Structure 1
Amino acid sequence: MNWLSCVRARQYPGLLRDSSHENKEVWVFLMADAATCAIPNQTISQGDYNLERMVKAVIHKGGQVKACDTCLDARGLKTLPLIEGVEASNMPQLAQWTLAADKVLTF
């Protein structure tokens, strides 16, 4: 997943949580390079999307966000704090979410 895909992935949960989808749950699992979206206080260039704000919006609207712990470790990020509300997780959790989901979107 590249940065642009991460931005697109962040936009969908917000759309799904509008008033016409009140009873839907949104789960976001950040894998590969997208795991970097879980790190707070990143410097962004003028005009770029603020990924931390997008992740927090998903959490604030009741969504769950988890980041692959193996992916964080492979990028040297495992010891860094994550955005409040984001949890490091693993493939069994992703499998559980996938099996329980009515729909799965991947980017």
Structure 2
Amino acid sequence: MKIGIILETKESEKAWNAFRFALTAKKQGHEVKMFLMGEAVECEGLTHEKYNVDVQLKAFSDAGGEIMACGTCMKSRQLNETEACPLSTMVDCVNLVVWADKMVTF
């Protein structure tokens, strides 16, 4: 199954669960793509004593999961794209929704 995930928060527990879900789906053989928008573009490097978002993000990326980050949201925060989170557009987000069999939002 093709699973699309839109993440809009950097709240540690919610973002951690989103990436855990994505990684679990990927490990079960699903195609999984994530689109980060709003404050979620700040998830790379995000750590918390209980919920280490960065570890889950990297594990998902290392497992072959695709992450896209809203370029407008990144630019408004003066963030640059990274290998794990390349700049993407709303067209990419729309294409993700069209591509996916199921969409999940966090």
Instruction: Report TM bin, short chain.
Output: 0.7 to 0.9
SS at match of 2:24: helix
- Structure 1 position 49, deviation (Å): 2.3
Cα distance in 2 for partners of 1:104, 1:65 equals 14
Q: CA RMSD in A?
A: 1.8
**Partner residue, 1:91:** 90
**Partner residue, 1:5:** 14
Structure (1 or 2) with the greater strand fraction: 2
Q: Please, what TM-score do these two structures have when normalized by structure 1?
A: 0.78
**Partner residue, 2:39:** 33
**Partner residue, 1:61:** 63
SS at match of 1:104: strand
Cα distance in 1 for partners of 2:81, 2:50 equals 22
Q: State the Cα deviation string for residues 61-105 of structure 1 (Å, max 9, x = none).
A: 11101111111112222xx352x3321101000100110100000
How much identity, in percent, do the aligned residues show? 29
Greater than 3 Å deviation, 4+ residue runs: none
Q: Which has the higher contact order (CA 8 A, sep 6+)?
A: 2
**Partner residue, 2:3:** none
**Partner residue, 2:25:** 16
User: What is the aligned counterpart of 2:52 among 39, 50, 53?
Assistant: 50
**Partner residue, 1:103:** 102
Q: Please, what TM-score do these two structures have when normalized by structure 2?
A: 0.79
